[in-house]
Homo-oligomer: A and B are copies of this chain.
Amino acid sequence: MSTVDFSISEIYDLSYKTMISNGCDEPNASALSDIISRAERDGSHSHGLFRVPGYVKALRSGKVNGKAKPEITKKTSVVVHVNGNGCFAPLAQAVGLPELSQIALETGIAALSLTNIHHFAALWPETEFLADRGLVGIACTAYMPTVAPAGSSEKLFGTNPISFAWPRPGKNPVCFDMATSSMALGDLQIAARDGKKVPLGTGLDSKGEETTNPADIVAGVLLPFGGYKGSAIALMVELLAAGLTGEQFSFEAKLNDNADGGPPRGGEMILAFSPEKIAGPGWEDHVEGFMSKLEGLDGVRIPGERRHKNRLNKGLRSINSTLIKTIRELS
């Protein structure tokens, strides 16, 4: 695969220029470019520049409003709501997360629901925002129907990612961010693009048969991770992201989407908890005792550590040349 070397700020600039050229105002373009450049910084390629053509499609079709001004309201003393007014998710998060964290630091627990947004990014930026402020974060969103509930071969669930971050003052948080499908759609698409095979059990082809060809699964259906237990987690995410926010379920998102290839309208649920308020003082040492046990086990990887290690590298990133060419042609 031919690649081009880009610095993190060059990635940001390419993204920013592309968004501005396609109708975004400064707040929308910068919120989006920040998320894209941080994804590339951390090695989350499937949520970085790879997403830019899809973002542009959604702007050009008019599905997403690149000049949207999200509105924040408090539904109760501990429930914050941001109506994105049709923006991409990162701007709505930038508007809602500071308020969410301020409340949770005082009350111990708070919720942020996002509606009328278009989510096409990773979820760890939200949960790590909270962990950086000493809070536990949980975030989840639904997407287009791409996953068959356990026992079925019909798409109903989105890839329904869930992210969880636990704060470790002075250290990187424990942070996982994973699709509840056997594989993230972005990773499946990248595997298809690169002509790689995927493990049996990842999904079914359009005839409902098992296959190792990612392109056939893109045309067919993904399966949840971990059988019926993973399917239960996927159902929980769908109910929290759509039922609890009041936004579209995955199947509704598809029904109402214009099929431009960009992200459909959806919701996101973000929860924040303060260990200082709930467990009380001393929680850090208590948890570090456990973490040292976990870190001491052979063969165990702490969720998030690969991204956090990538983050330390301030140097250039190798980006797929074809992707760069495609993006440059969008301005």
A binding-site residues for B, Cβ under 8 Å: 75-79, 81, 106-111, 113, 136, 148-154, 156, 164, 166, 174, 176, 178, 180, 225-230, 232-233, 235-236, 238-240, 242-246, 249, 251-252, 271, 273, 275, 277-280, 282-283, 286-287, 289-290, 293-294, 297-301, 303
Residues of B within 8 A of A283 (CB): 243-244, 246
Verify B244–A275 contact, CB threshold 8 A: yes
Residues of B within 8 A of A273 (CB): 111, 244
Verify A278–B230 contact, CB threshold 8 A: no
A107-B76 in contact given A152-B297, A233-B233, A293-B251 (Cβ < 8 Å) = yes
Q: How far is the CB of A187 from chain B (nearest CB, A)?
A: 13
Verify B294–A242 contact, CB threshold 8 A: no
**Cα of A228 to Cα of B273 in the assembled complex, Å:** 24
**Cα of A150 to Cα of B225 in the assembled complex, Å:** 14
Residues of B within 8 A of A243 (CB): 166, 275, 279, 283, 286-287, 290
Verify B226–A230 contact, CB threshold 8 A: yes
Binding site of A, secondary structure by majority: helix, strand, loop or mixed? mixed
- The residue of chain B having its C-beta at the shortest distance from the C-beta of A176 within the complex is B232
Q: How far is the CB of A153 from chain B (nearest CB, A)?
A: 8
**Cα of A299 to Cα of B180 in the assembled complex, Å:** 19
Verify A229–B174 contact, CB threshold 8 A: no
Q: List 27 A-B contacts (CB under 8 A).
A: A75-B280, A76-B106, A76-B107, A78-B109, A79-B278, A108-B111, A113-B278, A136-B244, A149-B297, A149-B300, A151-B297, A151-B299, A153-B299, A225-B230, A226-B229, A228-B301, A230-B230, A235-B303, A238-B290, A243-B275, A243-B286, A244-B275, A246-B279, A246-B280, A246-B282, A249-B293, A252-B289
**Cα of A29 to Cα of B271 in the assembled complex, Å:** 36
Q: Ordered nearest first, which 7 A-B pairs have the shortest CB separation? A: A226-B226, A246-B279, A151-B299, A79-B108, A176-B232, A152-B297, A76-B108
Residues of B within 8 A of A153 (CB): 299
Q: How far is the CB of A125 from chain B (nearest CB, A)?
A: 18
- The residue of chain B having its C-beta at the shortest distance from the C-beta of A152 within the complex is B297
